[in-house]
Amino acid sequence: MSPAGHHPMRSQRGHLRLAYTPPADAPPRARALQLLRAMIARLRIFFTNLLALAGAVLALAPLLVRRGPVGHRTQVPRPAARVIPLPPRRRASPP
């Protein structure tokens, strides 16, 4: 309590006022500026796609230059398979 007899937590009206004031709205941007920004964004996407296409063409160019058929394995002669004879079967218990 203060020397004047007032409670420090109370305002003059007897309650705290906790009002929220929303921030002021930003002024709307000019329509021409928005169209210009959208056009710049489209051009950047277009040139990025062109760059990606050029990279893909460069990565696949060796396949086009190669004379062999694409997608087929070259035939490498394999050595003949060896057949290993198994020993004759034996009975588990004597007769």
pLDDT tens digits along 49-73? 999 999 999 998 888 777 666 566 6
The answer to whether position 39 is within a domain reads yes
In a domain, 74, yes or no: no
Does residue 69 belong to any structural domain of this protein? no
pLDDT in the model for residue 36: 94
Tokens representing residue 84 in the block: 């290993």
48 occurs within a structural domain: yes
Q: How far is CA 73 from CA 7, 22, 63, 69, 91, in A?
A: 92, 70, 14, 8, 48
CA 61 to chain CA centroid, nearest Å: 27
| Structural tokens at position 56 | 């893909």
pLDDT at 4: 59
Q: Looking at residue 88, what is its pLDDT? A: 87
pLDDT for 63: 80
Q: Is residue 44 included in any domain, yes or no? A: yes
Q: Is residue 85 part of a domain?
A: no
* Ranges of residues in the chain whose predicted pLDDT is under 50: 11
Domain range for residue 31? 27-53
- Give kind and range of the element (H or E) at residue 9: none
Q: How many structural domains are present in the chain?
A: 1
Q: Would you state the pLDDT for residue 16?
A: 60
Q: What is the DSSP letter of 14?
A: S
